[in-house]
Amino acid sequence: MTAPRASLFTRAGRRLRKLVDRPASVDVTRFEALLPAAVRREPELAELSDSELTAAAGNVGGDRLTEAQLVEICALGREAGRRTLGERAFDVQLVGVMSLLTGHVAQLDTGEGKTLVGAIAAAGHALTGRDVHVITVNDYLARRDADWMRPLFELLGVSVGWVEPGHTAEERREAYASGVTYGSVSEIGFDLLRDRLATSADEQVQPAPDVAIIDEADSVLVDEARVPLVMAGSAAAGAPDVTSTRVVSRLREGVHYEVDTDRRNVWLTPAGAAMVEKALGGIDLYAEANADRLAAVNVALHAHALLTKDVDYLVRNSRVQLIDSSRGRVAELQRWPDGLQAAVEVKERVPVSDKGEILDSITVQGLLARYPAVAGMTGTAVAVAETLREFYKLEIAVIPPHEPNIRVDEPDRIFLTQSDKIRAILAEVERVHATGRPILIGTQDVAESEELAGKLAKAGMECVVLNARNDEEEARIIAEAGTEGAITVSTQMAGRGTDIKLGGSHGTAADHQRVVELGGLYVIGTARYRSSRLDDQLRGRAGRQGDPGGSVFFASLNDEVVLAGAPDVPEDLPADEHGEVISPVAARHLDHAQRVTEGANLEIHRNTWRYTRLMERQRDDLLAYREELLRTNHAAEVLKASCPDHYADLAEQLKTEQLARVCREVLLYHLDQLWSDHLAFLNDVRESIHLRALGRETPIDEFHRAAIPAFHTIKTEAERLAAETLAAVTVTDSGPDLAGAGVRRPTSTWTYVVHDNPFGSDAEQALKKIRGTLRKKRR
């Protein structure tokens, strides 16, 4: 067996990692020092039969990981990977395993084998008797990784399962009973929310949380964390406001309405309000009697001005389907709240969905705070090190690459206008494609990917497109993106989870060598993303495992990231005859714009957590009471004391167990309904809380002053209402009639997308309007 390569662990290398780009990294030298011991175990383990290896894994034991256990888990995992997958973990991968086992976020470059690292670490935790959830960014990766790593887990004596949207409750329960369960953050989160609404303990599918290993940790812990997981239940649809939608569709931006620079808010101008009032029959839109109509107009205006087809949503099979902007995929089972979904459906002339009421919610922080042990892995963790420390108390362990990265990252090419930029991109693709070098083009959204594909086809260059319309084909498309002559256009590479192998997934060694000689995969970004991490994730698709590769980003001074972060571009920047800016000022301005948008996203994250922390504490208190109701006869005892006469009547007609179930369901119904009402109340408070800032009061303090007293009435009010409902319950031939007494639970549930906007005060909005008037149109 080969000893660890000295070049990885030299003192100079360690100093360089600390001094250059890893100031937030924990020291991994203590893990590197354990590698020789793991290497020494290899000959012994190689001599064991499969059954003997499984037995050896069963002897890891212990509930607290020692250095000896870390060594044994790494050695066992390496041997199991070699036998079952044909993959012997590199030394640096074992350093990653130890980083995960000790509760860090391991930064491993794209192509360094994070899937194997996560599986060995998950198996290691399971071998010490812990339940492990491997949390991913999408359902495809959860299913793929569980199936792919299954032979390794089984050889180590560890069971594995996964959850996905189509699974039944029984399938979910079985998956969670495994030693290791894979699932997307949304699936695991919504299973938790559904369990929190169960009316009997038998309905619940999740065990108590124990260990969470987060794949694509920055995407899950930062990007996903800006959007709380919200469970909604069905209610009557009601008649959609078609009139408001039709009136709003005739309004023009800049004349009838204004939009702020980051396109999060929209408002009517005086001319727009006058036009709407006239179209609606000469009403006073701002009169108190027309509050509902004003709300409908505002929702319709939001749908008209701020939500764009093929950017924010798709229309497919006569349904509006949301696009997850951070993943470039359809967001399954998600809708917009507060009538916005219906407004978009009316706008697109498709059937209107049921409206709903919020039943429960949880943030990603709240979800992961339930796990006693959390770790993660990603290729771009250092950029969000402070965020991970602030919100999750997680530290980064930067793992050196197995092979040096020789990718060539060219400076950004910046243009005055969008049209100049597109012409330059087409020319660059044509130049590189003529050599046979494979090209991967990263775009911002579905509309842009399809428009660019059309232009490429018109120029005689066929390409393959990966976006939310065909994301089920992503593995096949991405796997072949390294084939000689291939042009691949993708909306978002973060979390795609498939390596791009030079020469293609089925290519020969000769195919691989030809592409290597051509320079490897060439990555083109059509614009900077709102986060530098996403830029890095796109770049990272080239140059895996020491392969050659290259990347370049094209940008214009009216790209979305510039308009959102720094719209006041310096005047008279010099450019060549093709419109390419030659002044270094442009690059500095682009970097500044990106930093501004990153700061805004961090504030959204911080704002979400600031307001939901109290709500989640309150929910935890209520859940403790709810669990008591689920698992004891406390509900029957409460209702027997509060309405003894009717309880006695029902006791004569029902068995003791039946009556206990009726009492439990009635009390849980009111408890859940009051929590739903409490969430709606808190939402209303948040909508108006910024007005308190004008009176020099702190909005968050005022929010707490409203939220705390309201919460303390829930339990007693639920018990009072339950007593009234129990008095209305009658017993028919088919049993107790709960529906007749008003106990009706939603017939369906779905999720809401809620974007918390921290820039909500009147003063801030006024500043945005002033800023909007200065916005330049540079197309």
- The pLDDT tens digits for 611-662 are 888 999 999 999 999 999 999 999 999 999 999 999 999 999 999 999 999 9
Whether 356 has a pLDDT exceeding 70, the answer reads no
Q: How much is the pLDDT for 119?
A: 98
Average pLDDT over residues 687-707: 72
Q: How much is the pLDDT for 106?
A: 96
Distance between CA atoms of residues 518 and 564, nearest Å: 38
* pLDDT bucket at 702, cuts 50 / 70 / 90: confident
Phi/psi for 661 (5° steps) reads -65, -40
Torsion of CA 537, 541, 547, 552, to 10 degrees: -80
Distance between CA atoms of residues 575 and 423, nearest Å: 15
Tokens coding 696 = 């020099």
**Out of 38-52, 344-358, 469-483, 572-586, which region has the weakest mean confidence (pLDDT)?**
469-483
Q: How much is the pLDDT for 236?
A: 55
**Percentage with pLDDT > 70 across the chain:** 86
Q: How much is the pLDDT for 329?
A: 59
| 224: nearest Cα among 610, 609, 594 | 609
**Helical H segments across 280-433, by residue range:** 291-305, 340-347, 364-369, 385-392, 418-433
Distance between CA atoms of residues 644 and 726, nearest Å: 10
Q: What are the chain's domains?
A: 24-232+365-398 (3.40.50.300), 239-352 (3.90.1440.10), 408-598 (3.40.50.300), 632-747 (no CATH)
CA Rg value for the chain: 29
Distance between CA atoms of residues 246 and 300, nearest Å: 9
- The full length of the chain comes to 779
Phi/psi for 439 (5° steps) reads -125, 135
Q: How much is the pLDDT for 205?
A: 96
Whether 487 has a pLDDT exceeding 50, the answer reads yes
Whether 62 has a pLDDT exceeding 90, the answer reads no
pTM score, whole prediction = 0.83
| H or E element that contains 213 | strand 211-215
Q: How much is the pLDDT for 479?
A: 78
Q: How much is the pLDDT for 10?
A: 42
Q: Tell me which residue has tokens 């974007």.
A: 755
Whether 354 has a pLDDT exceeding 50, the answer reads yes
Q: How much is the pLDDT for 23?
A: 47
Instruction: Decide: 112 and 92 in contact? Cβ < 8 Å.
Output: yes
* Alpha-carbon dihedral sign for residues 600, 603, 609, 615: negative
pLDDT in tens, 259-293: 876 677 788 999 999 999 999 988 888 887 887 78
| 140: nearest Cα among 103, 115, 177 | 115
Whether 768 has a pLDDT exceeding 60, the answer reads no
Instruction: Decide: 626 and 632 in contact? Cβ < 8 Å.
Output: no
Q: How far is CA 450 from the centre of its chain?
A: 24
Furthest C-alpha separation in the chain:
93
Average pLDDT over residues 545-556: 94
Tokens coding 737 = 């009639």
Name the β-bridge partners of 106: 377, 397
Bridge pairing between strands 356-362 and 229-234: antiparallel
Distance between CA atoms of residues 414 and 555, nearest Å: 5
* pLDDT bucket at 686, cuts 50 / 70 / 90: confident
Average pLDDT over residues 333-357: 77
What is the number of other CB atoms lying within 10 angstroms of the CB of residue 26? 17
Q: How much is the pLDDT for 358?
A: 80
| 134: nearest Cα among 152, 116, 109, 151 | 116
Tokens coding 15 = 């100093």
3-state SS assignment for residue 42: helix
**Out of 62-76, 367-381, 559-573, 638-652, which region has the weakest mean confidence (pLDDT)?**
559-573
Whether 505 has a pLDDT exceeding 90, the answer reads no
Phi/psi for 273 (5° steps) reads -60, -40
Distance between CA atoms of residues 323 and 470, nearest Å: 12
User: Which residue type sits at 10?
Assistant: T
pLDDT in tens, 221-256: 988 887 788 887 766 555 567 888 888 988 999 899
Q: How far apart are the first and last CA of the chain?
A: 61
Q: Strand 319-324's sheet: what is its strand order?
A: 313-316, 319-324, 329-330
Distance between CA atoms of residues 183 and 186, nearest Å: 8
632 Cβ contact list (under 8 Å, min separation 6)? none
Find which of 25-29, 418-422, 495-499 is predicted with most confidence, using mean pLDDT: 418-422
Name the β-bridge partners of 521: 549
Q: How much is the pLDDT for 585?
A: 93
* pLDDT bucket at 769, cuts 50 / 70 / 90: very low
* Alpha-carbon dihedral sign for residues 118, 384, 601, 542: negative
Q: What average pLDDT does the chain have?
A: 85
Tokens coding 46 = 């190689």
Tokens coding 398 = 């930067």
Distance between CA atoms of residues 478 and 486, nearest Å: 11
Q: Who wins on pLDDT, 463 or 771?
A: 463
Q: How much is the pLDDT for 189?
A: 93
3-state SS assignment for residue 149: helix
Q: How much is the pLDDT for 227?
A: 76
Distance between CA atoms of residues 207 and 295, nearest Å: 42
Distance between CA atoms of residues 76 and 56, nearest Å: 8
Residue 289's Cβ-count burial label (10 Å; 0-12, 13-18, 19+) is: exposed
Distance between CA atoms of residues 374 and 378, nearest Å: 14
What is the number of other CB atoms lying within 10 angstroms of the CB of residue 683? 15
Instruction: Decide: 118 and 164 in contact? Cβ < 8 Å.
Output: no
Return the DSSP state at 203.
G
Return the DSSP state at 199.
S
Q: Tell me which residue has tokens 């702020």.
A: 260
